[in-house]
Structure formats: C-alpha cells, structure tokens
Amino acid sequence: MSTNPSRTLLPVPNPHPDREYEVEIESPEFTALCPVTGQPDFATITFKYVPGPYICELKSLKLYLWSFRDEGHFHEDVTNMILKDFVEFIQPKKLHVTGRFNVRGGIYTTVRAEYEAGQ
C-alpha cells in the first residue's frame, strides 16, 4: 500500500457479519484549506458506523483524509464528501460523520452528516 495521499478507502471483509456492532473512529488531525482565504482549516473528523459487508482499513482512511490537505473546501461540503465516499467504498449499514472544525474568526463549526442503508 502506498504512503501517498489517496481518495481510495480499502474495504476489509467484516470479521463479524453475523452481528450488528458500532465502530467509532476519530481523526483529530484533519486539515483542508479555506476556499476563500486559502488559510488552513483544522478539524476532528469522527466516524460512527455499523459495518455491512466491510470494515475500513485504517491506514487507507488516514491517507484518504490526508488527500484533502491542499484543497479548498467549505466545512459543509467536505464533511458530506467524506460521508459519500465512505458509503461508496465501505458500504456500511449506518454511518454518522461529524466534522468539528477549530475556531476561525471567533466561530466554531460542527457539521454532521448521516446515512442509513435503504433510506
């Protein structure tokens, strides 16, 4: 596996497909650029998901999140992009992605996006 940023998430077969369980992953070092000023935005991205056929290999997730570092994105857009891509690659039954963006100009932003299979 490469160590370069990538927009590919590696699905791994779910070791316990016979039961529902929740996985929580927190990445406190997410960075992207403000699309208006070009300044860095810092965030904690949290995933809570109920696996379907796959779980997410964590190194691929780290490299995926790293791929946003030099790109300009609004907080709302990037959080929803992350949710969409995670659903496409990992096929969870349920997924909540929360982006908690650090203060900028005296304002904190928290964006929550959700997905549930079949809805």
pLDDT digits (tens, 9 = 90+) for 65-107: 999 999 999 999 999 999 999 999 999 999 999 999 999 889 9
Q: Give the HSE-up count for residue 72: Cα atoms under 13 Å, Cβ half-sphere.
A: 6
Which residue has 């995670």 as its token pair? 86
Instruction: Look at the domain 11-116 and name its fold.
Output: GTP Cyclohydrolase I, domain 2 (3.30.1130)
Is 24 known as a binding-site position? Answer: no
Write out pLDDT tens, residues 101-117. 999 889 999 999 999 99
Whether residue 34 lies in the annotated active site: yes
Which one of the listed residues 34, 56, 70, 77 is annotated catalytic? 34
Q: Which two tokens stand for residue 119?
A: 């809805």
Measure the CA–CA gap between 79 and 54, rounded to whole angstroms: 21
Q: Which two tokens stand for residue 40?
A: 């860095």
Residue 1 scores a pLDDT above 70:
no
CA angle in degrees (0–180, nearest 5) for 85-91-92: 105
**pTM of the predicted protein model:** 0.94
**Over residues 35-54, mean pLDDT:** 97
Measure the CA–CA gap between 41 and 115, rounded to whole angstroms: 25
Residue 4 scores a pLDDT above 90:
no
Measure the CA–CA gap between 3 and 14, rounded to whole angstroms: 24
Whether residue 77 lies in the annotated active site: no
Which one of the listed residues 41, 70, 77, 85 is annotated catalytic? 41
